[in-house]
Structure 1
C-alpha cells in the first residue's frame, strides 16, 4: 500500500471535507475577531495565518501512512520529532530568554491564524506558540515521518534522497534568513517585511514536495 506519493484526483469526500474545513475556519475566524481584542491587521498576513492552519490540519487528518514495522515507525518518529524541534527553534517557537523579560504566561490576540498565541517568558527559555506555526510545523514533521517510512520500503536513489532532504531544509533556511543578515540593515528590513510571504511560500512548496515525493517507489 502506497502513501500519498502521487497527487491523485480529489474525490467527492475530499472536496466535502475541504469545504467543511474552510467554512469552519472562516466561522471560527469571524468569532475570534468578534469576541476578542484581535484585529485583522494587514489582510494578506491574516490570510497567510489561516492558510497555514487549514493546510496543516488537512495534512494531519487526511493522510494514510504506509504499513511498516514497529522499529521503522520508531525511527521515523524520532526523525520527525527532531525535525519539529529544529523547526521550533529556527522558526521562533522556542527562543532564548531576554534579560528581565521573564513575565510568565499570557495570551496574545494576534491576527487570525497567528493568534490567539500562547506566550511564555521564563528564565530559561521563551515560548511563542502561534497556531499557524505550531500546526504547520507539526504537519511538516508528519510528512517527514511519512517520507522516512516510505523511504525504508522503497528503492530510493541518492539523488531523490538528497532532493527530499533539501526540501525539508527549506523551512529551516527561510526561518533563519533574518538572523543571518542581522537587524540593522536595509536588507534585513526588507527580509523582515517579506518574511511572512517567504515562509508561507516555502511552507506550501514543501508540503507539495513532501506529500508528492516524486521518484519514490510504490
Structure 2
C-alpha cells in the first residue's frame, strides 16, 4: 500500500524545485568565491560587484526552472527557437560578447587583414578571475571575436529561453522581451553618455552613469526575468 506524504499547510513552497536548485547553486557559489578569495589573496574593493554575477546566474536559473513552455506545434517551436536565438545574438552583440568583422568574413579586407595577422593575438584564451566574472573565455579569429563572461552568458541564455517560452505560449512578450535588451546597459550607457555629455552638463554626469551601469543593468535584468517568468499570472498569456 502506497503512503502519500502530507505537506503541512503553508509549507508548499518548500517543495518547489526552484528552492532546491537555488540552495544547491548558492552553496557551490559561496564555496567557490570564498576559496578563490583565500587562494588568490584578492582585495575586495566593492562587495556588490562580487555578488552581482551570482544575482544574474541565480535569478536566471530560477526563472528557467520556474517556467515550462506550453505544448505548441512543431512550426511554432521552430519559429520561437529561431527568434529566441536571434534575441540572444542581439544581446550578446550589444554586450560585446560576440563581435563579427563582416569584411573579413566575406574576404573584402584582402591584404589589410593579412597585413595585421601578426599584430593581434589569435586563437583561444582563458583568463581566470573572480567567480562569476570568470573564468573568461576569449577567442579571436579572422572574422569572429568572442569574449564570454560567465554571468552574462547565463543571464542572456535564461532571457532567451524565457522569450522562447513566451512565444510558445502565444503570449504578447514584446514589452517584457524587449525590456531584456536593457540588461546590456553596462555597455550602452557609456556610449549614450558620451553622445549626450554636452547636453547634460559634462563629464561628471557621464562618469556617474558609467559607475552605476552594472547596478542598473542588474536591476533591469532582474525585472526582465520577473516579467517573463510571472507573465501568466499577470495576465500575459491567453
Q: TM-score, normalised by structure 1?
A: 0.79
Counterparts of residues 106-121 of structure 1 (less than 5 Å): 106-121=125-140
Inter-partner Cα distance in structure 2 for 1:216 and 1:180: 31
Tell me: CA distance 1:59–1:36, structure 2 relative to 1, closer, same or farther (3 Å). farther
Q: Does the aligned pair in 1 maintain the 2:163–2:173 contact within 8 Å?
A: no
Question: Can you give the 5+ residue segments of structure 1 that lack an aligned partner in the other structure?
Answer: 1-8
User: For the structure 1 residues 147 and 16, does the alpha-carbon distance in structure 2 shift closer, same or farther, using more than 3 Å as the test?
Assistant: same
Partner of 1:215: 235
Q: Can you give the 5+ residue segments of structure 2 that lack an aligned partner in the other structure?
A: 1-11, 102-115, 198-202
Structure 1 residue 131, shift from structure 2 partner: 0.6
When normalised by structure 2's length, the TM-score is 0.73
Q: Is 1:201 equivalent to 2:181 in the alignment?
A: no
* Alignment match, 2:52: 48
Q: Which segment is superposed worse, 104-113 or 142-151?
A: 104-113
State how 1:179-198 maps to structure 2 within 5 Å.
179-182=191-194, 185-198=203-216
Choose between structure 1 and 2 for higher RCO, CA contacts under 8 A separated by at least 6 residues.
Answer: 1
Separation of aligned partners in 1, 2:208 and 2:26 = 32
Q: Which moved more, 1:112-121 or 1:197-206?
A: 112-121
Cα gap change, 1:27 to 1:169, in 2 (>3 Å): same
Task: Identify which of 27, 31, 50 aligns with 2:35.
Answer: 31
Matches within 5 A, 1:133-212: 133-151=152-170, 162-172=174-184, 175-182=187-194, 185-212=203-230
Q: 1:179 to 1:71 in 2, by over 3 A?
A: same
Which is greater in Rg?
2
2:81 is aligned with 1:77: yes
Report if the CA contact (8 A) 1:108-1:116 is conserved: yes
SS at match of 1:112: coil
The number of residues matched between the two structures is 202
Structure 1 residues 66 and 174: alpha-carbon distance in aligned structure 2, compared to 1, 3 A threshold: farther
